[in-house]
Amino acid sequence: MKWFSLHIKGIVIGLIIVSATVNVLAEDNLSSEEQQIVEKLKNKPLNGFFGFTFSNAVPQGEFFDKLKNSAQGFSLFGGYDIDPIPVVFGAELDFLFFGGEERIFKYGNSGWGQYKDTVTTSSSMIPLNVFVKFQPNISNLIYPYVEAVAGVNFMSVTADYKSNYWDDDSKDRFSVAFNYGFGAGLMIKLVDFITLPNSYSQMLLDVKMKYIKGTKADYATVKIKNDSSAEFTDFETQTDMVMFLIGLTFRF
């Protein structure tokens, strides 16, 4: 988590420096007539958008008591902005990973007669949500927003067994939960992309938090035993989460 936080801070600082440099250089190389065209383009409505974020999902309540850790991953999203009306519609797909473990079991004689079994476990979730936002535009620079979300969460726990001698095997647990929630965030413009005479788009830093209320679902944890087998512990739980996200949005 500490590495993840430092890495994100470095990305954000780098983006701010680069965006400031790009904007200054662009303005310095324009004639007065071109600057007028640019100002008109900056007031042009931008209706389409897409982007990606790095995500950290923290299970809540009994969900965290069972899993005992958070999930990291990324999300992809896009939609339609009814600019200049401050209402936005879209969809978002998250890929969240709780991690796992891998163990190698060696047996037989050393050298050419030695075999090994490899057991790998993983736990993941793929929420798919639609959302609607109220998102005012402040001077084409800052875009605060609140949003409502709803969708489904595909949850999977797997254990894969690979051997030099025995047949490979795979076991898994799969379930689906429905969810809804709300969030709040802030987008800050980093760069204007302008191609004269009529092309304009933006890149923005996007920071947000969401609370997701999930229905009850069957899920599991999995551990590798000393005999190279995998043991699943099944349970039923509410699938509530708090998500923290930071990334980039492109408006066009």
Burial of 31 (0-12, 13-18, 19+ CB in 10 A): exposed
Q: Which structure tokens are listed for 94? A: 């998250």
* Model confidence, pTM: 0.82
pLDDT score of 50: 97
Instruction: Encode burial over 95-133: b for 16+ CB neighbours within 10 A, e otherwise.
Output: ebebebeeeeeeeeeeeeeeeebebbbbbbbebebebeb
CA pair distance 86, 133, nearest whole angstrom = 8
CATH code of the domain covering residue 41? 2.40.160.20
The residues, ordered by sequence, that sit 6+ positions from 59 with a Cβ below 8 Å of its Cβ are 66, 67, 70, 71, 239, 240, 241
pLDDT tens digit string along 71-102?
A: 999 999 999 999 889 999 999 999 999 999 99
In this predicted model, which residue has the larger pLDDT, 247 or 115?
A: 247
Q: Is the pLDDT of residue 238 over 80?
A: yes
pLDDT score of 147: 98
Domains of the chain: total:
1
Q: Mean pLDDT of all residues in the chain?
A: 87
Which helix (H) or strand (E) element contains residue 22? helix 2-28
CA pair distance 109, 150, nearest whole angstrom = 56
The range of the structural domain enclosing residue 170 comes to: 2-251
pLDDT tens digit string along 27-43?
A: 556 667 767 777 777 77
Q: Is the pLDDT of residue 12 over 60?
A: no
pLDDT score of 114: 72
Average pLDDT over residues 125-150: 96
Q: Which structure tokens are listed for 55? A: 């995500």
pLDDT tier for residue 167 given thresholds of 50, 70 and 90: confident
* C-alpha dist (Å) from residue 92 to 12, 42, 53, 171: 22, 27, 10, 29
Q: Is the pLDDT of residue 239 over 70?
A: yes
Average pLDDT over residues 96-117: 81
- Chain centre distance of CA 165: 39
- Chain centre distance of CA 122: 18
Beta strands 87-99 and 169-195, pairing class: unpaired
CA pair distance 220, 65, nearest whole angstrom = 12
pLDDT tier for residue 227 given thresholds of 50, 70 and 90: confident
pLDDT score of 109: 66
pLDDT score of 105: 87
Measuring CA to CA, which residue among 116, 109, 54 is closest to residue 248?
Answer: 54
Average pLDDT over residues 207-220: 96
pLDDT score of 242: 98
Radius of gyration of the chain (CA): 24
pLDDT score of 6: 47
Measuring CA to CA, which residue among 60, 58, 46, 2 is closest to residue 187?
Answer: 46
* C-alpha dist (Å) from residue 160 to 104, 196, 229: 12, 55, 10
